[in-house]
């Protein structure tokens, strides 16, 4: 059974700090690793998708890496802002096209 | 439309009732997915359609849950004899085509509350 674990479950940082969110997965037959953002009471917004042949993707202040051999991905957020406060979900796509999600990291960026 | 849409946004029903949840995927997307998200958890897969057919329904929890996509576009998730444990946010996603490399785009979800 595919499992995705995210650490930490919650994180609070002051504005301006750089931070790293961690994701680990058990299925080595990974196709995609996708990071999402979810605001309270809202749906999921895709942030970055890394295909299995890639090692990282970048978008603005966000950088996501993928290490298939260790079963890990990290999401790096530079110069955090209060507007970054949300829950960040990591997901992997296995052989059946469906996404398996972690339970998320709830991020709060304080002024 | 510009993105995946879901209706209703909120649904409150009584235990034992029947409910239907609707998903309109992004135009041209042939793959459609349903997920369920309980409070404090990540979404869990329910069912995946490629065109009109259910390619994988292994996530449906029991036979009270059923989904259709008769014309390969709009999909309806149907829940019979609702139970309080069915309360969750039901998310729909679509992707451009079949295959595991296609990015999934999510709708805003339907929050179902069973009293």
The stretch B61-77 carries a mean pLDDT of 96
Of A44, A95, A104, the CB nearest to B100: A95
The mean-pLDDT minimum among A8-12, A27-31, A87-91 falls in A27-31
What is the C-alpha separation between B82 and A48, in angstroms, rounded? 36
* Contact call for residues A88 and A36 (beta carbons, < 8 A): yes
Q: Give the pLDDT band of residue B65 (cuts 50, 70, 90).
A: very high
The stretch A81-106 carries a mean pLDDT of 91
Q: Sheet with B65-68: list strands edge to edge.
A: B5-7, B19-24, B75-79, B65-68
Instruction: Judge: B45–A98 Cβ closer than 8 Å, yes or no.
Output: yes
Q: Give the pLDDT band of residue A26 (cuts 50, 70, 90).
A: confident
Q: What is residue B100's predicted lDDT score, i.e. its pLDDT?
A: 58
Tell whether the model's pLDDT for residue A97 goes beyond 80: no
Residue A62 in contact with partner chain B when CB distance is under 8 A: no
Instruction: Judge: A98–B56 Cβ closer than 8 Å, yes or no.
Output: yes
Residue B55 in contact with partner chain A when CB distance is under 8 A: yes
Q: What is residue A2's predicted lDDT score, i.e. its pLDDT?
A: 78
């Amino acid at each position: 059974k595919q499992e995705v674990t995210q650490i930490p479950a919650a994180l609070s940082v002051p504005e301006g700090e750089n931070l790293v969110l961690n994701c680990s997965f058990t299925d080595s037959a990974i196709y995609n690793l996708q990071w999402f953002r979810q605001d309270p009471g809202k749906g999921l917004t895709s942030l970055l998708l890394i295909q299995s042949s890639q090692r990282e993707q970048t978008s603005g202040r966000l950088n996501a890496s993928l290490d298939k051999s260790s079963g890990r991905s990290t999401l790096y957020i530079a110069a955090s802002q209060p507007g970054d406060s949300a829950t960040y979900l990591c997901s992997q796509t296995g052989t059946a096209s469906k996404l398996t999600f972690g339970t998320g990291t709830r991020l709060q960026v304080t002024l | 439309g510009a993105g995946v849409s879901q209706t209703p946004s909120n649904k409150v029903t009584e235990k034992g009732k029947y409910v239907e949840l609707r998903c309109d995927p992004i135009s041209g997307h042939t793959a459609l997915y349903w997920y369920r998200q309980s409070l404090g958890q990540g979404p869990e897969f329910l069912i995946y359609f490629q065109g009109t057919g259910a390619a994988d329904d292994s996530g449906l929890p029991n036979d009270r849950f059923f989904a259709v996509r008769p014309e390969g576009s709009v999909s309806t998730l149907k829940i019979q004899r609702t139970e309080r444990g069915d309360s969750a946010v039901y998310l729909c996603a679509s992707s451009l085509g079949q295959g595991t490399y296609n990015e999934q785009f999510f709708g805003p979800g339907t929050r179902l509350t069973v009293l």
